[in-house]
Chains A and B, each alone.
Chain A
């Protein structure tokens, strides 16, 4: 049987999601029995032609990135956004309320042409994205589950419930009780609430669930003296496109 041809690509990001794939170690050896890894610039020199599945990490920020992404789209059957930067902008979104010109001036004190960049975009703003593996970084097991589904020609499913559910099942203390703003009630599960397990809070790196239950969440916010703007400000750490509310 012909092996499925897969490739990994990266734009603006930290390459931590590709590294998470390499960190699958023993599982990685087994995956390589099932697929043909034809392109992975971080650890391979080859460049391939047609692909069955392209996993793409990072946000796109420049014209040349957009063109390159479109070329990848043209030569792959399936395109998967790998990680928060590709899926919803990731930390690159933090700058989305300030123009790149201002940030460039602040960081480089210069406007040299090669330092120019556009506001970061998620992949889906440039090309059609078939599936996604959310998170910063991605969860290795979730990546395996998505890949497995694709190899079996099934639709990969992401959890439709919130991190709060996983957190409660694991019986972790609620972050709100420590006076922390937690995005667990509205953020997509699948991470096994790893940050709350580690003593931190949820910063929303996996993006919003489809139908967040906003009214109980708002009540929770009010009870803890928070406003919707407080939450949106937090949400912006990993997600582009949420505008400040009018209220």
Chain B
């Protein structure tokens, strides 16, 4: 028989899973991305550099800030603009806000229903209203960071080449700090909730790739590294990562010379355990994971550890901003002339590359965006194939549920990954 999951729910974007199960053996198992292609890289061609980040933000509502920042940094590199230290701090804070809001959405809205055996969090409105209210409160705090720094939670408006066109108010930052501190009891309750869940047993070693920033848990950096010894400059990403087309998906897949790999919270967590905040490490032990885990379902736990880490880092970042003041930061003038630039950020779902070339008039000539979910697709498929034999004696319903949970543990964002790819101009 053939199992087809059409329009898998509780993920961002559209995917089908096709499992051909014939007399106890798997004939074929593939993840079809059916989201219609949008050809973003082609749409960007000929646009002025000042328009590129606002357009490319629209690749994805959930990670518009990551796309904006990767885009601005790539353009800055191409045009020779260096943002100052305060702008870099504000960008860090903005990224923390986005990753937290994306993680909390995934944890509460997409994963909690799986582990409580319900079809959506809204079913708990009467029976466990405090859980729903807590999820929304936490998400609100994360969104407030994006609002205060970026002007609004989705598709930021204050971000610009060289820094920020408008600085946040000191009073807003102080209030934000209070909100973050006040969120700690809600985080404790969240950790307690997830510590009580029964995570499926499944182990498969793969290559874990993330940015590398010696001083910090990775966020914005110019080198990337892996659990298999990769250590390269972001500008050399094309030498390390190859994108390829499959005959069934509108998203490109990616691999290194060693095969499929994982990006995202579990990869960051595994490669950077010592760089987590003290509170985050405590949470990791409460959730019983450490850097040795190779269970992809543990991405959920890593996501929660990261939320705690980013709350703590956000508080410290606000303190630093308040200490040094926000005056005197103006975006630098952009020199005339074109160039080539490549930048990477850790988006909620992992490593995101943007690479552009501009002509002498500052108009975009070529663009290439390598999106986290696209990098994870081959790994998700390999995981699915590896776990299927273990699930063959289960009912179709249970088999389906476990496969969906595995896909959701990666939090795939398919709006992003259907317009990733490079421009090969003809």
**A contact set with B: CB distance below 8 Å:** 11-20, 22-23, 25-26, 28-29, 32, 37, 40-46, 61-62, 65, 90-92, 94-95, 98, 100, 102-110, 112, 114-115, 117, 120, 136-137, 194-195, 197-200, 203, 237
Q: Which residues of B approach A to under 8 Å, CB–CB?
A: 7, 9-13, 35-43, 45, 51, 54-55, 58-62, 64, 105, 109-110, 113, 119-122, 125, 132-133, 136-137, 139-140, 143, 150-158, 160, 164-166, 245, 247-250, 252, 415, 419, 421-426
| Cα distance A195–B53 in the bound complex, in angstroms | 14
CA distance A92 to B38 in the complex (A): 7
Contact flag A12-B36 (CB < 8 Å), given A25-B140, A29-B136, A195-B157: yes
Q: List 16 A-B contacts (CB under 8 A).
A: A12-B35, A23-B153, A26-B140, A40-B120, A42-B109, A44-B10, A44-B119, A94-B43, A104-B37, A106-B423, A108-B245, A108-B421, A112-B245, A136-B58, A137-B61, A199-B157
Interface of B is mostly: loop
Report the Cα distance A109→B366, complex, angstroms: 14
- Asked whether B42 lies within 8 Å of A200 as measured between CB atoms, the reply is no
Please report the C-alpha to C-alpha distance between residue A107 and residue B250 in the assembled complex, in whole angstroms. 11
- B355 vs chain A, min Cβ distance (A): 14
Contact assessment for B166 and A104 in the assembled complex, using a CB-CB cutoff below 8 Å? no
Query: What's the least CB distance linking B241 to chain A, in Å?
Result: 17
Do A43 and B120 contact each other (CB < 8 Å), given the known contacts A195-B157, A200-B157? Answer: yes
CB–CB A136/B155 < 8 A: yes
Query: Smallest CB-CB separation from B12: which chain A residue?
Result: A15
Q: In the bound complex, do residue A197 and residue B157 qualify as a contact, i.e. CB atoms below 8 Å apart? A: yes
Asked if A11 and B42 make an inter-chain contact with CB atoms under 8 angstroms apart, the answer reads no
Chain A residues contacting B164 (CB-CB under 8 Å) are: 199
With A14-B59, A29-B136, A106-B424 known as contacts, the answer to whether A46 contacts B120 (CB < 8 A) is yes
Tell me the bound Cα distance from A110 to B252 in angstroms. 12
Partner of B110, one of A28, A43, A106, A199: A43
CA distance A22 to B62 in the complex (A): 11
Contact call A117/B54, Cβ cutoff below 8 A: no
Q: Which of A45, A106, A197 touches B42 (beta carbons < 8 Å)?
A: A106
Q: Which residues from A are CB-within-8-Å of B166?
A: 197-199
- Give Cα A209 to B252, complex, Å: 40
Q: Known interface pairs A15-B13, A199-B157, A199-B164. Does A32 touch B42 (Cβ–Cβ under 8 Å)?
A: no
- B247: chain A residues within 8 A (beta carbon): 112, 114
Report Cα–Cα, A169/B252, bound state, in Å.
Answer: 47
Q: How far is the CA of A28 from the CA of B166 in the complex (A)?
A: 30
Give the A-B contact count at a CB cut-off of 8 A. 180
Per the bound structure, the CA–CA distance linking A37 and B62 in Å amounts to 21
Q: Which residue of A lies closest to B420 (CB)?
A: A107
Of A28, A32, A61, A115, which is in contact with the most chain B CB atoms at under 10 Å from its CB?
A115
Pair A19/B61 contact, Cβ less than 8 Å:
yes
Identify the interface centre among B35, B42, B139: most chain A CB within 10 Å of its CB.
B42
Give A22 to B135 CA distance when docked, in angstroms: 11
Q: Which of B10, B58, B152, B252 contacts A91 (CB 8 A)?
A: B58
- On whether the beta carbons of A61 and B155 are closer than 8 Å, the reply is no
**Do A194 and B152 have beta carbons less than 8 Å apart?**
yes
B13 to chain A minimum Cβ distance, whole angstroms, is: 7
Quote the shortest CB–CB distance from B137 to chain A (angstroms): 8
Q: Which residue of chain A has its CB nearest to the CB of B156?
A: A198
Q: What B residues does A100 contact at CB under 8 A?
A: 39
CB closest residue in chain A, given B152: A194
Q: What residue of chain A has the Cβ atom nearest to residue B110's Cβ?
A: A43
Inter-chain CA distance A26–B135, complex, in Å, is: 10
Question: Contacts A43-B120, A200-B160, A237-B51; is A107 near B41 (CB within 8 Å)?
Answer: yes
Instruction: Name the CB-closest residue of B to A110.
Output: B245
Question: Which residue in A13, A62, A106 is a CB contact (below 8 Å) of B415?
Answer: A13
Q: B residues within 8 A CB of A199?
A: 157-158, 160, 164-166
**CB <8 Å contact, A115 and B10:** no
**Chain B nearest CB: distance from A144 CB in Å?**
15
Chain B residues closer than 8 Å to A195, beta-carbon distance: 151, 157
Contact at A45–B41, with CB atoms within 8 Å? no
A37: chain B residues at CB < 8 Å are: 122
A106's contact among B7, B41, B51, B55, by CB below 8 Å, is which? B41
The verdict on A32 contacting B415 (CB below 8 Å), with A108-B421, A198-B166 known, is no
Contact B113 A45 (CB under 8 A): yes
Q: Which residues of A contact B421 (CB under 8 A)?
A: 107-108
- Known contacts A26-B140, A46-B120, A203-B54; is A106 also within 8 Å of B426 by CB? yes
B305 to chain A, nearest CB (A): 23
Q: How far is the CA of A79 from the CA of B164 in the complex (A)?
A: 39
Once A15-B62, A17-B61, A198-B158 are accepted as A-B contacts, the answer to whether A45 and B9 lie under 8 Å apart by CB is yes
Chain B residues, CB < 8 A from A94: 43, 55
Q: With contacts A136-B155, A137-B155 known, what are 13 further pairs, Cβ within 8 A?
A: A14-B61, A19-B105, A20-B61, A40-B120, A44-B120, A46-B119, A46-B120, A95-B39, A95-B42, A104-B37, A109-B424, A137-B61, A195-B157
B157 touches A117 (CB 8 A): no
Q: In the complex, what's the smallest C-beta–C-beta distance from B358 to chain A, in angstroms?
A: 17
Q: B154 near A16 (CB under 8 angstroms)?
A: yes
5 tightest A-B CB contacts, nearest first: A16-B61, A199-B165, A198-B157, A198-B151, A103-B39
